[in-house]
Structure 1
C-alpha cells in the first residue's frame, strides 16, 4: 500500500497560462510575468533520459498522483493531454511545464479531468490538460505541484507524442489487451487467440504487462520478436496496491483492476495515428465476425452503413470452459502438456439471461474517442452503434456465468471451427518456435 501524505482536498485551479521564469512570483500573488522576459533557457535534453522499462508510470513529485504518457490532442486546438492516475481524495493545484527543442520551457495551470468511471476506488484514470502558446513546438512535458521555479525543474519529463496528424496508418487493426498480471499462464488460449486474430486481419497487439507465468513469458517473447506484439511494461504494483477485480467491496485496493481504465485510454492515444481501428477487449475474448470472413470486410460494411460512428459495441457471449464438445476431435495429444484452455473444445454458448444486458467490448476509431471505460466510451464524437448479435459477437471461453445450465440448454456455436485447418497449423508452429512444443 502506498503511504499517503495528509493533503487537504482542494479544488483544482482553473487553467491559466504563465511562464517559467518569474512564475513563482506571479503565482504567489505578484504581477503576471511579461512573456518576452519570462523565457527560461534550461538544458532540457540532459534531464530527459529515463529507463525505458519505467517509462509507463512516473510519480508526480510531492503528490499522490502519477503521470503515464503525454500527447498533443489536435482535436482540442493542440492542447497537451497527459494520461494520469490521480488520487481522488488528494486533489491539489497542478502545473504543466512544457519545453521545446530550443530548451525553452513555459508553465501553465492544468485542468484535471478525472474520468467518471472509477468504480469508487481511491485512484482514477484521469486526463491532465495543459493549454498554452506554441504547444506544437513542445517536445517534453512535466506535471508538477510546485509554483514553478527553474531550480525545481530537474525532474523526469515525458516525451510528447502524436505531434503530427497522420491520415495513413501503419496498422488497420490493433488489439489493446489492458492488463496482464499475477502468474497468468494460459498459454494455449493465448496462442489460439493471437493466431485467430491474425486470420481475422489484425496486424498488431499491445499488452500492458505487470507479470505473467513462465511459459507464457516464452510465448510473449516469440510474438514480440515476430513483430506482432508490443509489450508495454506496467509496474503498477510498485506504486500502488492494485485491485484484482472491479468491485471495491470484494476486491480491495487503490485502483480498479490493475489500472485497466488507464491502460485502455493510453492505448487509444498511443495508436491515435498508428491504427485505423483499435479493439478494446481481453485476451480470452475474440471479437468474431459471423457474416464476414474478416474484420476488414466487417468494418467496411459497418462503417459505410454508419459513416459518422466512431464506437462499435460488440456483445460478449460466454462459452463455458466446463462444457466440452463430445467427439473429442480437437483434444490433440500435441497440446496435452501446454498449459491453458483449448478454445476449439468449447462450442457451447450460454443463452442470454432474461432482463440482463450483455456487456460489450469495442472496436473504435481512436480519432473519435476522448475517454473510454471498459464496456463503453465515456466521451466520443459521432456516437456509438451496437452491432447486431448475428453480425459480430465476442467468443469468450471462460468459467460459466450460468453454471446450472445443462449442455442441452446451451447453444451450439462452431464458428471457431471455420478456421480449424489454418488455426491448428499456425498454433503448432508458434508453440514450436517458442520452445513450448
Structure 2
C-alpha cells in the first residue's frame, strides 16, 4: 500500500520494483559483485526540485524528467528516449544508457546516439549555460546479447540510468514508461503546467472539460504547477471519474519554485516559460504512445470546434477522406479565431443559458482569422511525431514533418480571450470585425446539464439554483 502510494508520487522512479526486488534478494547470500555497477538505491539518486533526477557530467548538468520505450513501427527497431533539460548547447559530452533488466544483474550499456534539440534557436535563449530541452535516444541491446546475458528474448528493461563513463555509480534511475492498454483510444488532450495560484478558473474548467468530453476527448492530461483551491477541487473530481490525469511538475535547476515567485518568473521570462512548457507536452506524448491515435495540445481557453459535424471522430473521418492517398500528414492544424471575452456582455446575456457558462455566453468572434499556420493547434498523429511544440511538431519520424491545414469552414480553433495574443493592430485587424457564431450551442442542453450537475456536486452551485439570473 505504502509502495504504491510513493510510486504514484515519484512517477519517474522505479520505486515499487526496487522495494520488491530488494526484499526478494535480501536473503540471498554470496551475491556476486557486479562487473559494471550496482542498481542504485532510491536514496543514492540525486534529485532536483522533486521531479527531476540529475547527471553532473564533465561538460554540463543533465536534469532528467522521464524515460520511454518507443516501439512504433515506423522506426523499425525499438529505442528508449530520455526527456530532460541540459545547460549546454549541442552537447558534446558522450553519455551512456545503463539498461536495468534485473536488480541482481549487471546493466547492459548502450551509448546515447542522439541529442534531439526540442527548440528553435531563432526563438531566443540560445546561450551556453542556459537550460535547454532535449530528447535523448539510446538503441536497445542486440537480442542476441540479451540472451547471452541470461535475459529473455525481447525483454524490456525496467529502468535506465544515464552516465558519462558507462560503468560508474549512477546518480539517476528513470522508470521506463511502457504503458500498453487493452484497447487503444482515439483522442487525448495535453495541457501544459497550470499556473493559476490566485485566479479561480474552477467553473470555467468544468465547462471546458465537459465540452471536450462531448466532442470526443477520451482523456485530458494536465500538469500542475499551482492552482487555486477551487480548481484543485474540480481536478480532483475529474481524476476520480477517470476523465482527467493530473501530474504535478516543477521547474528544474536554479529556477524558482516558490508559488507566486515562480508565477512572476514565468510571466517575465517568456522564452524560459516556453522552453519549460516543452517538457510536459513531450512527456504527455511519450507516456501515451500506445494509448491514443491523436494528441491535441490545448490551453484551457481553447477548443477545436467542428462546424459541419458534431464530434472529433466524425471530423477526422471527414478530414482524412480529403487527404490525398499518397500523403501521410504528421499533424492536422486548425486556424485560430478569437472569441472575445467582453463583447457579448456589453450588449446582453443570453437568458436561456446560465451566466456561469462562459463559452456558451460568449458567441461573438472576430470575422477574421489569424494568418494560416499562426497560433494554430493540431491533432498530432501519435505514430508519426517525434517532438512537439505548442503549435506544430518540431521533428517527425520517417522524414520531415507535414501538416494538413483544415479549412475553417470544416473546423477551427475557438480561442476565448479578452485581447489578441499579439496586441499590435488587434483592434484594426480583429476587434472591429465581429460576427455571431453559435456553433457551440449545438451542445447547449447536454453541456448545461453536465456542468450544473458537477457544480452542484462540488458545492459551487446550490441545489435550487439553476444559474439563470
Asked if TM exceeds 0.5, the reply is yes
1:93 corresponds to: 94
Q: Does 1:65 align with 2:62?
A: yes
1:208 corresponds to: 223
Q: 1:133 aligns to what SS in structure 2?
A: coil
Q: 2:337 aligns to what SS in structure 1?
A: strand
Alpha-carbon spacing, 1:328–1:100, altered in 2? closer, same or farther (3 Å): same
Alpha-carbon spacing, 1:327–1:215, altered in 2? closer, same or farther (3 Å): same
Q: 1:399, CA displacement in angstroms? A: 1.6
Structure 2: which 5+ residue stretches go unaligned?
A: 1-32, 144-154, 421-425, 462-469
Q: 1:407, CA displacement in angstroms? A: 7.2
Alpha-carbon spacing, 1:426–1:94, altered in 2? closer, same or farther (3 Å): same
2:81 corresponds to: 81
1:34 corresponds to: none
1:160 corresponds to: 176
Is the contact made by 1:317 and 1:358 (CA closer than 8 Å) also made in structure 2?
Answer: no
Partner Cα separation in structure 2 for residue 370 and residue 422 of structure 1: 37
Is the contact made by 2:124 and 2:271 (CA closer than 8 Å) also made in structure 1?
Answer: no
Partner Cα separation in structure 2 for residue 237 and residue 120 of structure 1: 19
Q: 1:143, CA displacement in angstroms? A: 1.7
After the TM superposition, which of the residue ranges 252-261 and 360-369 deviates more from structure 2? 252-261
Partner Cα separation in structure 1 for residue 287 and residue 274 of structure 2: 20
Partner Cα separation in structure 2 for residue 225 and residue 330 of structure 1: 33
1:177 corresponds to: 191
Choose the corresponding residue for 1:297, options 314, 319, 323.
Answer: 314
* Correspondence list, 1:421-432, <5 A: 421-432=445-456
Alpha-carbon spacing, 1:355–1:280, altered in 2? closer, same or farther (3 Å): closer
After the TM superposition, which of the residue ranges 369-378 and 47-56 deviates more from structure 2? 47-56
Alpha-carbon spacing, 1:245–1:129, altered in 2? closer, same or farther (3 Å): farther
1:316 corresponds to: 336
Partner Cα separation in structure 2 for residue 245 and residue 134 of structure 1: 49
Q: Does 1:360 align with 2:376?
A: yes
TM-score normalised by length of structure 1: 0.78
Choose the corresponding residue for 1:329, options 350, 360, 365.
Answer: 350
Q: 1:259 aligns to what SS in structure 2?
A: helix
* Correspondence list, 1:68-147, <5 A: 68-74=65-71, 75-76=74-75, 77-89=77-89, 91=91, 92-101=93-102, 103-110=105-112, 111-117=114-120, 119-121=123-125, 122-134=130-142, 137-145=156-164, 147=165
Alpha-carbon spacing, 1:356–1:376, altered in 2? closer, same or farther (3 Å): closer
Alpha-carbon spacing, 1:258–1:421, altered in 2? closer, same or farther (3 Å): farther
Q: 2:344 aligns to what SS in structure 1?
A: coil
Q: 1:277, CA displacement in angstroms? A: 1.4
After the TM superposition, which of the residue ranges 291-300 and 62-71 deviates more from structure 2? 62-71
After the TM superposition, which of the residue ranges 284-293 and 255-264 deviates more from structure 2? 255-264
Q: Does 1:263 align with 2:260?
A: no
Alignment RMSD, CA only? 3.5
Partner Cα separation in structure 2 for residue 107 and residue 163 of structure 1: 23
After the TM superposition, which of the residue ranges 196-205 and 64-73 deviates more from structure 2? 64-73
Q: 1:104 aligns to what SS in structure 2?
A: coil
Is the contact made by 1:244 and 1:257 (CA closer than 8 Å) also made in structure 2?
Answer: no
TM-score normalised by length of structure 2: 0.73
Is the contact made by 1:245 and 1:257 (CA closer than 8 Å) also made in structure 2?
Answer: no
Alpha-carbon spacing, 1:128–1:258, altered in 2? closer, same or farther (3 Å): closer
Q: 1:397, CA displacement in angstroms? A: 0.8
Partner Cα separation in structure 1 for residue 233 and residue 244 of structure 2: 13
Is the contact made by 1:218 and 1:435 (CA closer than 8 Å) also made in structure 2?
Answer: no
Choose the corresponding residue for 1:418, options 442, 447, 456.
Answer: 442
Q: 1:363, CA displacement in angstroms? A: 0.4
Q: 1:302, CA displacement in angstroms? A: 1.6
Q: 1:193, CA displacement in angstroms? A: 0.9
Q: 2:268 aligns to what SS in structure 1?
A: coil
Q: 1:199, CA displacement in angstroms? A: 0.8
1:148 corresponds to: 166
Q: 2:383 aligns to what SS in structure 1?
A: helix
Partner Cα separation in structure 2 for residue 432 and residue 163 of structure 1: 35
1:251 corresponds to: 268
Alpha-carbon spacing, 1:42–1:353, altered in 2? closer, same or farther (3 Å): closer
Is the contact made by 1:323 and 1:407 (CA closer than 8 Å) also made in structure 2?
Answer: no
2:459 corresponds to: 435
Is the contact made by 1:303 and 1:309 (CA closer than 8 Å) also made in structure 2?
Answer: no
How many aligned residue pairs are there?
388
